[in-house]
Amino acid sequence: MAKNIKEDFLEAYRALEEALRNDEPSSTVYEYSMKFDENSNDSKRMQLCRITRNYLAHQTDEFITPTKEMVVYLQTQTKEILKKRKTAKDIMTKMAPITSDMKISEAAIKLGSKKPFLVVCDKDKCIEGLLTRETIRKAVADKNHAKTIKTAGGLEKPEHIVSQTEPAENIVPNTVVTSDGTIKGTYKGVI
């Protein structure tokens, strides 16, 4: 069933509120004391959208009908706000992945003391897993340090994988960034 204009409007407004959630208080729609430029058509439209949203959200019998122009305006504002926000792509480090053909002893040297893990990828840069210090300790304890990562086994699955478009404020440390936010996506970097 197709959505009606009211549903489209409320959905667009929720998206705008979500985009504004972490912005400066002076630019959020929650600031009802916000001063609008009296001569700006955009300010008047935004004010009308806010009034309409409040009315639609709280009234059962409506007499204000949102327009397609209002929906398009909200969607445009949301896109502009999201364009200015930092994403995973903006804050990630492009750390070269290793392959599972590398020896555990070589990987341990490459891991060093500053990195929490190394990303192990196949030839298509799809993630096979993470090589951590714990993985290396187990391999050494099992006398597998001379073996390759593939034969030693024990790779860990990444706990956090995001796409390049994930907003920076949603990302936790030690996150892997792929093209689509899944382990099968193409590896891009780490945070």
Condensed to tens digits (0 to 9), the pLDDT of residues 60-116 reads 666 667 788 888 888 888 888 777 778 899 999 998 999 999 998 898 899 888 888
Is it the case that residue 20 has pLDDT exceeding 60? yes
The whole-number pLDDT of residue 36 equals 47
Indicate the residue type of 132: T
Backbone angles phi, psi at 93, to 5 degrees: -105, 135
Q: How confident is the model at residue 26 (pLDDT cuts 50, 70, 90)?
A: very low
Instruction: Quickly state the pLDDT bin for 126 (edges 50, 70, 90).
Output: very high
**pLDDT reported for residue 22:** 58
List the CATH code of the domain at 89-190: 3.10.580.10
Residue 25 pLDDT greater than 60, yes or no: no
Q: Is the pLDDT of residue 150 over 70?
A: yes
In the chain, list all ranges with CATH 3.10.580.10: 89-190
What pLDDT sits at residue 42? 62
SS3 breakdown of the chain: % helix, strand, coil, rounded to 5?
A: 45, 15, 40
Q: Identify which has the larger pLDDT, 46 or 94.
A: 94
